[in-house]
Amino acid sequence: MSSGTQAYLAQIGGVPVLVLKEGTQRAFGKEAMRINIMVAKAVSEVMKSTLGPKGMDKMLIDSLGDITITNDGATILDEMDVQHPIGKLLVEIAKTQDDEVGDGTTTAVILSGALLEEAEKLLDKNIHPTVIVSGFKRALDVATEHLRKIAVPVQRDDVNMLKKIAATAMHGKISETVKDYFAELAVKAMLQVAENRDGRWIADLDNVQIVKKHGGALEDTQLVYGIVIDKEVVHAAMPKRVVNAKIALLDAPLEVEKPEIDAEIRINDPNQIRAFLEEEENILKSYVDKFKALGVTAVFTTKGIDDMAQYYLAKAGILAVRRVKRSDIEKLVRATGGRLVTNIEDMTEADLGFAGLVEERRVGDEKMVFVEQCKNPRAVSILIRGGFERLVDEAERNLTDALSVVSDVIEEPYVLPGGGAPEMEVAKVVRQFAAKVGGREQYAVEAFANAVEVIPKTLAENAGLDAVDVLTELRHIHESKEDGWKYGINAFTGKVSDMWAIDVIEPLTVKLQALKAAVEAATMVLRIDEIIAASKLETGKGEEKKEGGEEESKSGSSSSSSLD
């Protein structure tokens, strides 16, 4: 049942006492659960049509009129600006999935909706939410254990396998003509930055810089074994190209700093002004002399460079770039092997980085500085080109997905077939487990098995197939064939196929994280049995005036907050 303020009136000796603020709205019991489940299902339904290689895109227009065209789950939910608390919970689930493994966001949200839809049927049979939650968790444990058992180990440096995994992540997202090319770039980039730390492999996406410039075609996208700085050389007289560059990386200004407190200097002789200015010049010249003595040929700093310092640097034939982003200078440190210097006077030759080429180039209508041909760089750049801005943005999202799944496999080298095969296998083993559970919890375990089948079912629907026929065939193959766990839906031929044979391969970590995130979201929603929405803030009367001098009168009483 549901009520407003009246639900908070307690009776003491026949006198009503207001417990909560007037205007507070409340929903509790089954109604609260139904509201929450309805919202989760609605968000899930929005995402379903984007799943798989035949998934459709969404066009999202924000309040400023900016357009985003994508089928990336995390981006869609983020741009949708969902207002309901349960909707926001699913947005958080998608973000967590994206942050943890970089892919599978749509899968996680669709599974959450399916689990709650199955749970709603059980609630109608008067099965308690805690029983449903317990059954879901037991089913998740069985599913996780089985997926780990059937997962196939791969070599971290198996380039062909990594390309297949990257290409699978980009199925149906970008043009098929560049999918393989992007997959190759993603594999090369991640293998370059991957490193073994104390026996554990780390492939950090932060060490791959993605720079976007519209213009050209997607095929013009390039991998730079170094870093691209979106700045230009500070002085026209400086060299625009330096070969075998010795690079100084500074977190210090090449200018005379002003004192932190106001100071007054009394000058009564013009020569004193000259001496004062000459001293400034000498300080700046001493910095440049220091660079020359160390053999520096390129300088990058996060701070400013004084006009006089620019003149001396140009005279010395040193290329310089100022106000480089902190994140970019840190990548330069990893790429060039140099050290970030905060005090120029203490700099030594050991602090310098090296690059085979530092060059200013025109990209589109802007100039950029390329630092490339580094010796074994631990950070690299990918410069994405494309015909228009929206295409470049979507290409970045797709490339990020490819980089993420390659990173996942480098860090945990186990993979599964795609195309809904893992979900069908999970449904099979969970149903077998349900028979052993008994009691009311058995219904919850079976509900989990029904819910995970939503993934192959949605893949079939998005490919224009008959979902019932496809699921029936998949169940038969998974139960009757010894290698049935490899079979999923080939959305391009419309048939049930061996996913290994057609190179549709996904990381184990993505599937495990999606299942875990979906169960956690469903659990949190099912454990909510009451919603208490505070009243909106009061506004005084006549605070604003409408155009034309007409006064706008606002009610001083609270307006009730909506639950939807």
The set of catalytic residues is 72, 105-106, 401
- Sequence-distant (6+) residues with CB within 8 A of 224 are 370, 372, 380, 381, 382, 383
User: Cα 98 vs. chain centroid, distance in angstroms?
Assistant: 5
Closest CA to 440 of 129, 141, 143: 129
Cα–Cα distance measured from residue 392 to residue 387, given in angstroms and rounded to the nearest whole number? 7
Cα–Cα distance measured from residue 83 to residue 105, given in angstroms and rounded to the nearest whole number? 19
Measured distance between the N- and C-terminal CA atoms of the chain, rounded to whole angstroms: 16
Cα–Cα distance measured from residue 209 to residue 468, given in angstroms and rounded to the nearest whole number? 45
- Which stretches of 418-563 are assigned E, i.e. beta strand? 487-490, 495-498, 505-507, 530-533, 544-545, 551-552
Q: Which two tokens stand for residue 339?
A: 């050290």
Q: Which DSSP category does 181 fall into?
A: H
Q: Is 249 helix (H, G, I), strand (E, B) or coil?
A: strand
Closest CA to 403 of 207, 210, 186: 186
CB 317 within 8 A of CB 239: yes
Report the sign of the C-alpha dihedral through residues 98, 104, 110, 113, in that order.
Answer: negative
Torsion of CA 122, 128, 131, 137, to 10 degrees: 70
CB 500 within 8 A of CB 486: yes
CB 407 within 8 A of CB 171: no
Cβ-based burial of 150 (10 A; exposed 0-12, middle 13-18, buried ≥19): middle
CB 560 within 8 A of CB 23: yes
Cα–Cα distance measured from residue 296 to residue 318, given in angstroms and rounded to the nearest whole number? 7
Q: How many residues does the chain have?
A: 564
- Sequence-distant (6+) residues with CB within 8 A of 198 are none
Cα–Cα distance measured from residue 319 to residue 296, given in angstroms and rounded to the nearest whole number? 9
Q: Which two tokens stand for residue 185?
A: 């770039």
